[in-house]
Copies of this chain bind each other. A is one copy, B any other.
């Protein structure tokens, strides 16, 4: 896993490509300018790069502008649990700007662009731009929701329900940021990643996915996932489709 190195500044916040997505709340020019002042630069990485490492302090926190990444923790003997995937618009590393060190690691799955903000200046957001501070908390609370639901899934759903739930979850989140076209999403990760997210073994994950696709509930081939009938998959997954999904843009 290669180590991240800082890079150049390319995308001005005023033209942030994420602003067009419906999920994000409308944001004022004052707020945008404030973010722009805070932005330290961009980090452009290849796939498979460790952006933040469990146990290390971080000088920066990030917003993922482009690409996919994932958060994970490991046990000494190598067992890995992926706690969540990171999609464009997600904030990464707030936790280490509140605590001393990261409690989890973050790796990229694809080439990625991250906006970087100096950890030391987070306080300015709270001091001078309460609406953005509120958004930070909003994002933390939303991440908490995702983790709660995932805990329910791993703890109480069986393999089929759990896999169905997770795929749908990813699909809907990807849809929110405009990554779904004609019912298809790019899934830039392996079955092993999914297994580590579900808390299942790779082999059993494979067999479970096979069952889902045999039943016609989804297709996942060559890195693309297609869901013919979202409601049908939600039924299997015991997924509540009526959750609000609007969120702030940071």
Which chain A residues have a beta carbon within 8 Å of chain B's beta carbons?
71, 73-76, 79-81, 83, 94-95, 98-101, 103-104, 123, 126-127, 130-131, 133-134, 136-138, 140-145, 147-152, 154-157, 196, 198-199, 238, 243-244
Contacts and interface: CB of A to CB of B under 8 A. Distances in A.
B152 A75 contact: yes
A103 B133 contact: no
A73 B144 CA distance: 13
Majority DSSP secondary structure for residues of A touching B? helix
Contact of A199 (B137, B149, B154): B154
Contact of A151 (B98, B130, B151): B151
Contacts of A71: 148
Contact of A144 (B74, B131, B144, B199): B144
Contacts of A196: 155
Could you say which of A76, A83, A148 has the most chain B C-beta atoms within 10 Å of its C-beta?
A148
A148 B151 CA distance: 9
B75 A137 contact: no
B154 A154 contact: yes
Contacts of A145: 95, 99, 103
B156 A151 contact: no
A150 B151 contact: yes
A100 to B, nearest CB: 5
A145 B138 CA distance: 16
Contact of A155 (B127, B149, B199): B199
A137 B136 CA distance: 7
A80 B130 CA distance: 37
13 contacts: A75-B156, A76-B238, A83-B147, A83-B148, A99-B141, A101-B244, A103-B148, A104-B148, A123-B130, A133-B137, A147-B147, A155-B196, A155-B198
Could you say which of A73, A131, A133, A140 has the most chain B C-beta atoms within 10 Å of its C-beta?
A140
A214 to B, nearest CB: 24
Contact of A126 (B81, B123, B130): B130
Contacts of A127: 130
Contact of A133 (B81, B95, B130, B152): B130
B157 A154 contact: no
A74 B131 CA distance: 33
Contacts of A238: 75-76
